[in-house]
Structure 1
Amino acid sequence: MRIDKYLWSTRYFKTRNIATNACKKGQVKINDQTAKPSREVFPMDKIIVRKNQIDYQLTVLDIPENRVGAKLVDIYRKDTTPKEAFDHQELLQYSKEYYRKKGTGRPTKKDRREIDDYLEGSEDE
């Protein structure tokens, strides 16, 4: 089975076209080699998929006939993604939200002064 079809059928991508584009961009590797969308997948292949800044690591257990339900995905692949990858994603999300909420606009005059004071204080050290 083609790698793009496999990733679509095991629900890593919502559409097959998105899976194909991910392969073309080099976000999919099979056995540490960048894979084209037409590359064949066989049982016991190691796949690395970069999606949402996380490198998912999979091992192919079996090849599905068609797209499978979410509950049956574990029959066809084994997810060996380390927990640290998800922790890193969570830290990135917190770092984006720590200062200002999305949609609150530009910094106020008070915010600007606090930023300037903070930057001036860090230069002295």
Structure 2
Amino acid sequence: MDKVRLDRFLWASRFYKTRSLSTDACKRNWISVNDLTAKPSKEVRIGDIIKIKKSSHYRSIKIIVLLNKRVGASKVEDYIEDITSPEEIEKEREHNQNRKLFNLSTSHKGRPSKKQRRDLEEFLYHGGED
């Protein structure tokens, strides 16, 4: 095996949960191989450099061993080499930190509980009557 489809490799190396998600990423031009945008059917080889666009940064990897079947998350590092620049790693760290802060601040969404509703009614309708 000296070449594998790009979408299959991205799925097998756990960059995407499903093969259809990796196919969609290729179709949206989020993936480039050796600095050229690539279709899902592009065949990748050992030594190719894949650049993956994430929401806030780019991730760059170099293929060490080709994958045809999905492997465990702990074994992925045996097949690829992460060559992402330190600036991009810092962008990813900042993005993840901001996401955590945002998720903490928006934890009160949805309908209020019965107690919260009663407290709101008390405040809004009966708060000014003293």
1:108 is matched with none
Question: Offset at 1:64?
Answer: 1.7
Question: Offset at 1:88?
Answer: 1.9
Question: Offset at 1:7?
Answer: 0.4
Equivalent residue of 2:25, what SS?
helix
Question: Offset at 1:75?
Answer: 1.6
Give the paired residue count.
104
Give the superposed CA RMSD: 2.2
Q: Does 1:5 align with 2:8?
A: yes
Cα distance in 1 for residues equivalent to 2:95 and 2:33: 27
1:9-28 CA-to-partner distances (Å, cap 9, x unmatched) read 00000100100000000000
Which stretches of structure 1, 4 residues or more, deviate above 3 A after TM superposition? 89-98
Q: Does 1:102 align with 2:106?
A: yes
1:61 is matched with 64
Q: 1:21 aligns with which of 5, 11, 24?
A: 24
The letter for the 1-side match of 2:106 is K
2:91 is matched with 88
Question: Offset at 1:104?
Answer: 6.7
Question: Offset at 1:94?
Answer: 5.7
1:69-110 CA-to-partner distances (Å, cap 9, x unmatched) read 111111211011123223223434666758xx33679xxxxx
Higher radius of gyration, 1 or 2 = 2
* Structure 1 unpaired stretches of 5+: 106-125
State the TM-score, normalized to the length of structure 1.
Answer: 0.72
* Structure 2 unpaired stretches of 5+: 110-130
Cα distance in 2 for residues equivalent to 1:14 and 1:38: 18
State the TM-score, normalized to the length of structure 2.
Answer: 0.69
Of stretches 32-41 and 83-92 in structure 1, the one that deviates more from structure 2 is: 83-92
Cα distance in 2 for residues equivalent to 1:92 and 1:51: 10
1:73 is matched with 76
Same amino acid, percent of matched pairs: 32
